[in-house]
Amino acid sequence: MAETIKWTFYGYVTPNRRKDVQGWFDALSPEAQDEARDVLAYLQHQPRHLWCRPEFDVLDHDTSEIRFKVNVLHEQRVYRIYGAFWPERKRYSFTFLLGKDKKVDNDRNGKKEAIDRLRRLRRGEATIHEFEF
């Protein structure tokens, strides 16, 4: 019998208890939220090896990004959610570390912030919460 897969998505909680990614998501337009939900609903039931482009890409050995696009007034906007397979010992879990509008092709600052946030989680300086859609 095939295993049922259902990923749980978490959001980063800063050391001062802010839910930055949740706040970013909640402030998106309804169209952007719907597109994010569609992409995440698709990934939620896929085995890890099927997470791939264009919705997902590995950035380094620890962090990755989920991407989605929305057309707004004849302009296509691209959004990124940087994240990691975290907590590492919890099967089918992915934590959103940082949400961004894609304004540059190589967002070095966003990638660096995501890596820093993952390091804070590993050191126990930050926590996570179950993400609300």
Q: Give the tens place of pLDDT for each residue, 30-81.
A: 999 999 999 999 999 999 999 999 999 999 889 999 999 998 778 889 999 9
> Residue 83 forms beta bridges with which residues?
64, 96
Which residue type sits at 108? R
- pLDDT for the residue numbered 104: 66
Other CB atoms within 10 Å distance of the CB of residue 128: 19
Determine the Cα–Cα distance for residues 34 and 3; give it in Å rounded to an integer.
28
* Residue 17 CB contacts under 8 Å (≥ 6 apart), including other chains: none
Q: Which pLDDT band, with edges at 50, 70 and 90, does 103 fall under?
A: confident
What pTM did the predictor assign? 0.94
